[in-house]
Structure 1
Amino acid sequence: MSAEVDFVPEVSSLSEVYASSDQSVRYTKLFDQFADYYNGRSPEFISRSPGRVNLIGEHIDYCYFSVLPMAIEQDVVMLVSQNDLGTINLVNSDAKFEPESFVMPGTDNGQDVVSIDRTVTTWANYFKCGLLVAHQYLGNKRRPVGMDVLVDGTVPPAAGLSSSAAFICAAALATLRANGVTKVSKEELARMAIVSERHLGVYSGGMDQSASVFGKRDHALYVQFQPKLKCTPFKFPDTDRPLTFLIANSLVTANKHETAPVNYNLRVVEVSIAAEILAHKYSVVIPQDSGIGTGTLRGFMEAYYKEYEGALLWDGEVAEGRTRLEKMAALVRSVFVQTEGYTAVEAATELGITVDELHERFLSKTPVRFEKLQLYGRALHVYEEALRVLRYLTLLLDPCVDPEGLFHELGELMNQSHESLRGLYNCSCPELDEVCAIARSSGSYGSRVTGAGFGGCSVHLVASDRVQEVKNALIDNYYRVRFPGISDSALEDALVISKPGIGSLVYTGGVPM
């Protein structure tokens, strides 16, 4: 019997969407704004996708290792109505984003309906990403209908909470709905969105999009990418001192698209080169299935165990996964002896190819800049972080662990994750390190950068009865020191209690009463 398809839901009540806040005022204002912008018309529907916070498992999704995120209530919503002009009209509720419009040419030959200029930074490009992948889903057979769109977002941009993924998921869903697709599976929407940011030149994994689409109220997600995409929701254990996740925004902007050549995309290239060197050293062939068309560290692990252990592909079973990942970490330590980095010449030598071939295979796929390729640190982080995810999951599923011991062990794994991201992956920053140190010293069991890093947000595991103590310490010792004069409203936005929220959906309830 085939598995039941999990479709993106359609809801008619805001209470089905938001558990912890009354959004009626926000939605009423948006309906009024839509009417003001579009000659008194009402939207036909609203597409909505949330941001996410990742509890543990950072920078490993594009290597196809599992992660533990959860959707949050902060979201991107798009009020949509069709038009007969073949034009996409985009208006943002935030006046700092200028309205944009573009006409879609006819498409009877399977070509893209719009083009994206990566050299121009514009918020419309994110909508175009969602439009393009949705058009491919529709079969490229006809020009999508025109749309009048009003966008509103509560996910802070460039903060590590996946504002771009939320935006693109909402855009893809809006395009499908406007073009008559009233049922789309969550898996299909997630897969569409996973590849969408590559139109902007960012080769991300699938965590952000999967968490945004599959989010479930009061649940975190265990997201697996191989052998197939699978999102398993689970609750945290009930205890007398409930766990709370506090999100603290460092207020350091971290735009992964603009800094990709030295930050995000460079990490993708480095782990790909590391995987290929390991494959070369151990004479195994690995799938060329990364975002840039090369091998991955997951692919090397599978090929190694098949060749040397006669083992089947890892199916996600935790104990076997821990054994394999520990072995991989040991191989990294033995192979990458130049722990301070490799020049392009040295990396090419390790691969047995020329520097020109290195550029052709790895460095020409996406622009990157570096002095030395940090292959040891990047590969070691990936395998050890994947191992921490499995240890974290094991603790959560063990009913015998006492609550206080559970908090400490979960927190220690989060702290180890942050230290690895800081020291091996070099994607933290002094401000994030300071936030984490202050939080730990004032009651957080575990604190770590969340998201791509290089600024943005951190996530903190705190018992509910100590949340205010941690918040006060961060306000007094970080925010008011680094940002004198910061307003109370800005502080409220910077420090958020994260409650697991529902994922992508379509709202058809009309103006809230």
Structure 2
Amino acid sequence: MTVVTTDENVPEVTSLDEIYSTVDQRARYQAITDTFVEKYGSEPEFMSRSPGRVNLIGEHIDYCFFSVLPMAIESDIVIAVRKSNSHLLRLINTDAEFSPSTVELSTAGDYVEIDKTNSDWASYFKCGHLVAHEYLNQVNPSSKIIPVGMDMVVDGTVPAASGLSSSAAFICAAALATLRVNGVSSISKRQLTSMAIVSERHLGVFSGGMDQSASVYGKPDHALYVQFMPKLKCTPFKFPSSSPPLSFVIANSLVHSNKHDTAPTNYNLRVVEVSLAAEVLAHKFEVEIPQDSGIGTGTLRGFLEAFFKKTEGAPPWDGEVVEGTRRLKKMAQLVREVFTKKDGYTKEEAAIELGISEQELYEKFLGKTPVRFEKLQIYARALHVYEEALRVLQYLTTMLHPPSDSASIFSSLGSLMDQSHSSLDSLFNSSCPELNTICKIARANGSAGSRVTGAGFGGCSVHLVPLDKAEQLKSALKEQYYKVQFPGLSDEQIEQALVVSKPGIGSLVYTGGRPL
């Protein structure tokens, strides 16, 4: 098993064959270049590129600092770039749905301004530009960097709001493009990931880091075991051999859930609820926990560490599987015992649990980011996080030490994926009726395990399928889901919603020019 070292740099490649293995992308890159020439009068100097990702297991636990198991996919965001003598960022998207955008840069070196109330597509580029600008100032502390202007054409094959992390792919590509055009020809994968992780917070979205890590660190034919503590570490490993081979079908529900627009009731509310759960546990067991979450509060990982330090004098968990399994099982047991209101807590009840006033509750938790709720589901969210983190370890163990027969490989991995979906549906409430329907159809037509992937509330599902049953599953979904739910879709549109995924390479700079 190869460990990705922290000083490995984002690669620069000159051939498309180094990037793609399933679909010939030469015509696409020709079209991007043609558009660039048409709009700006010359060919781009380079292209930055970052892929989407699909998470195999470990959903909504990265922002609690628990490890996850995603893989990069070949669908990606590509940005063709040329340095400009103007003080402008000029953005053109090949998709007519996204209007051209021009951003004026400060001649004094101030950072680009980002409006948290506006989820315009160019705002995601601004996020990547801003964190790259911050990095430029960090490595040049003696002078205030004034970034150069940029002319760009953006092309994406990761569907927006699909749960395949188009926003993280775009931000990673944007940060990489900004660094490159401003003279940084070499950047470590760890550094690019670290800056990208915090970038979406400028839009008010408190992501945990899985999406960015998978996008940057992706490796062909490998999944990634992404650890966030004690430090960021991505370990790639190959899938176990089986007959027939394992494959993953990604099915887009075509239910769009923009993470920014729905954050108050969906994504950010979950961040608040798991933070509240951690603080309630810490209060109950009288331990201090680090205030290191995305909203400046404690995390469920922080409580785990503090609990075992107090009760056993144990050092922080280093990711070892057997010890992690023991600790996570204990955490799930404590959650079941401590939280008496399984149906949720009002603001008043949550404040009482913490021994603080409702005003203090608002200032520490509810006022950090806009949220809307009837009751705070801190029991259900905490139970999901600890049990999902445990499933990641069980999945990893099966991948690294697979059963001797192929049927057991599919059964073991598939069962964990099914359990994950059930938890996301009933405890985390991040599935939706359409995703549940897709998973039911898939399981009846060859899938060994099916689950919502990504933030959820719509978007995509992922299905573990023996390769010889992938087409059967796709056909069933076409007939029983897409043609029923969306009768106006063309065969081409349905085909685009279904992907037989192969793990792909991560972020890179392409300097091969116009492909032949």
Name the TM tier (shorter chain). over 0.9
The aligned amino acid for 1:93 is T
SS at match of 1:300: helix
Q: Deviations over 1:64-95 (max 9, x none)?
A: 00000000000000000001111100100111
Q: Deviations over 1:113-132 (max 9, x none)?
A: 21111222311100000000
- Does 1:116 find its partner at 2:118? no
Alpha-carbon distance in 2 for matches of 1:183, 1:270: 39
Give 1:9's aligned residue: 11
User: 1:107 touches 1:113 (CA, 8 Å); kept in 2?
Assistant: no
- Does 1:346 find its partner at 2:344? no
Give 2:173's aligned residue: 170
The aligned amino acid for 2:104 is V
Alpha-carbon distance in 1 for matches of 2:320, 2:481: 42
User: 2:6 touches 2:189 (CA, 8 Å); kept in 1?
Assistant: no
User: 2:61 touches 2:389 (CA, 8 Å); kept in 1?
Assistant: yes
Tell me which of 241, 253, 270 is aligned to 1:238. Answer: 241
Aligned pairs for 1:66-465 within 5 A: 66-107=67-108, 112-139=110-137, 141-465=144-468
Deviation of 1:3 (Å): 5.8
Deviation of 1:399 (Å): 4.2
Deviation of 1:240 (Å): 2.1
Tell me which of 15, 26, 29 is aligned to 1:27. Answer: 29
Aligned pair count reads 508
Alpha-carbon distance in 2 for matches of 1:478, 1:262: 27
User: 2:73 touches 2:504 (CA, 8 Å); kept in 1?
Assistant: yes
The aligned amino acid for 1:313 is P
Give 2:494's aligned residue: 491
Alpha-carbon distance in 2 for matches of 1:323, 1:76: 40
SS at match of 2:44: coil
The aligned amino acid for 1:57 is G
Deviation of 1:401 (Å): 3.6
The aligned amino acid for 1:274 is A
Please list every run of 5 or more consecutive structure 2 residues that lacks an aligned counterpart in the other structure: 139-143
The aligned amino acid for 2:8 is D
Alpha-carbon distance in 1 for matches of 2:482, 2:358: 47
- Of 477-486 and 307-316, deviating more is 477-486
- TM-score with structure 1 setting the length: 0.98
Alpha-carbon distance in 1 for matches of 2:317, 2:180: 37
Deviation of 1:390 (Å): 0.2
Alpha-carbon distance in 1 for matches of 2:108, 2:124: 21
The aligned amino acid for 1:128 is K
Q: Deviations over 1:90-110 (max 9, x none)?
A: 1001112111111111335xx
Q: Deviations over 1:209-259 (max 9, x none)?
A: 000000001111000000000000001111221000000001100111100
Tell me which of 445, 468, 471 is aligned to 1:468. Answer: 471
User: 2:6 touches 2:190 (CA, 8 Å); kept in 1?
Assistant: no
Deviation of 1:415 (Å): 0.2
User: 1:7 touches 1:185 (CA, 8 Å); kept in 2?
Assistant: yes
Deviation of 1:142 (Å): 1.4
Tell me which of 465, 477, 480 is aligned to 1:477. Answer: 480
SS at match of 1:212: helix
The aligned amino acid for 2:31 is K
Q: Deviations over 1:132-163 (max 9, x none)?
A: 00001001621100000100000000000000
Alpha-carbon distance in 1 for matches of 2:285, 2:55: 33
Alpha-carbon distance in 1 for matches of 2:120, 2:6: 39
SS at match of 1:48: strand
SS at match of 2:154: strand
User: 2:10 touches 2:186 (CA, 8 Å); kept in 1?
Assistant: yes
Deviation of 1:400 (Å): 4.1
Alpha-carbon distance in 1 for matches of 2:135, 2:488: 49
Q: Deviations over 1:468-496 (max 9, x none)?
A: 11111111111111111321111111110
The aligned amino acid for 1:90 is L
SS at match of 2:317: coil
Deviation of 1:337 (Å): 1.1
SS at match of 1:26: helix
Question: Identity percentage over the alignment?
Answer: 66
Deviation of 1:4 (Å): 6.7
Deviation of 1:293 (Å): 0.3
Question: RMSD over aligned Cα, in angstroms?
Answer: 1.1
User: 1:113 touches 1:143 (CA, 8 Å); kept in 2?
Assistant: no
Give 1:50's aligned residue: 51
User: 2:92 touches 2:99 (CA, 8 Å); kept in 1?
Assistant: yes
The aligned amino acid for 1:74 is S
Give 1:62's aligned residue: 63
SS at match of 1:117: coil
User: 1:158 touches 1:456 (CA, 8 Å); kept in 2?
Assistant: yes
User: 1:76 touches 1:152 (CA, 8 Å); kept in 2?
Assistant: yes
Moved over 6 A (4+): none
The aligned amino acid for 1:432 is L
User: 1:106 touches 1:113 (CA, 8 Å); kept in 2?
Assistant: no
SS at match of 1:5: coil
User: 1:282 touches 1:304 (CA, 8 Å); kept in 2?
Assistant: yes
Please list every run of 5 or more consecutive structure 1 residues that lacks an aligned counterpart in the other structure: none
Alpha-carbon distance in 2 for matches of 1:505, 1:469: 35
Alpha-carbon distance in 1 for matches of 2:42, 2:371: 46
User: 2:447 touches 2:473 (CA, 8 Å); kept in 1?
Assistant: yes
SS at match of 1:337: coil
User: 2:431 touches 2:458 (CA, 8 Å); kept in 1?
Assistant: yes
Deviation of 1:406 (Å): 1.1
Alpha-carbon distance in 2 for matches of 1:323, 1:121: 42
